[in-house]
Amino acid sequence: MGRMVKVPELKSQWIWAVVLIIYISTGVFVLNAPFQMSEATVRAYDYVESLKPGSICVLGGGNVFAFDLESSAGQIAAIKHIARKGLKLVEFPTGVEGIIFHRYCIDAAHVDEQYGGPWKYGRDYVLLPYVPGGTTAVVAFLTNVHNLISTDLFGTPISQIPLMNQMRDYRDIALWFMPHWAAETYSPYIIGERGVPLLFFAQASNYVTAAVYMNIYPDKMWVTNGFLGGAQYEKLVGAPGLGQSAVDGYTLLSGAFIAFVVLGNIQLLSRTGTKKEEVQVKK
Whole-number mean pLDDT of the chain?
A: 88
- Is 200 a residue whose pLDDT tops 50? yes
Residue 26: Cβ-neighbour burial (10 angstroms; 0-12, 13-18, 19+): buried
Asked if 221 and 239 touch (Cβ cutoff 8 Å), the reply is no
Task: Compare 113 and 206 and report the one with higher pLDDT.
Answer: 113
Average pLDDT over residues 169-184: 92
Count of other CB atoms within 10 angstroms of residue 190? 27
Q: Which residue in 251, 222, 199, 230 sits closest to 37, CA to CA?
A: 230
Q: What is the pLDDT of residue 278?
A: 54
- Lowest-confidence range among 20-24, 37-41, 141-145, 200-204? 20-24
pLDDT band of residue 1 (cuts 50, 70, 90) is very low
pLDDT tens per residue across span 84-142:
999 999 999 998 888 888 999 999 999 999 999 999 999 999 999 999 999 999 999 99
CA dist 222 and 213 (Å) reads 9
Say what the pLDDT of residue 277 is.
54
What average pLDDT does range 24-38 have in this prediction? Answer: 81
Judge whether 74 and 109 are in contact, CB under 8 Å.
Answer: no
Q: Measure the CA–CA gap between 171 and 173, rounded to whole angstroms.
A: 6
Other residues' Cβ atoms within 10 Å of the Cβ of residue 182: 21
Is the pLDDT score of 5 beyond 60? no
Rounded to 5, what percent of the chain is helix, strand, coil?
55, 15, 30
Q: Which residues, other chains included, contact 168 with Cβ-Cβ below 8 Å and sequence gap of 6+?
A: 144, 145, 146
Cα–Cα dist 75/60, whole Å:
11
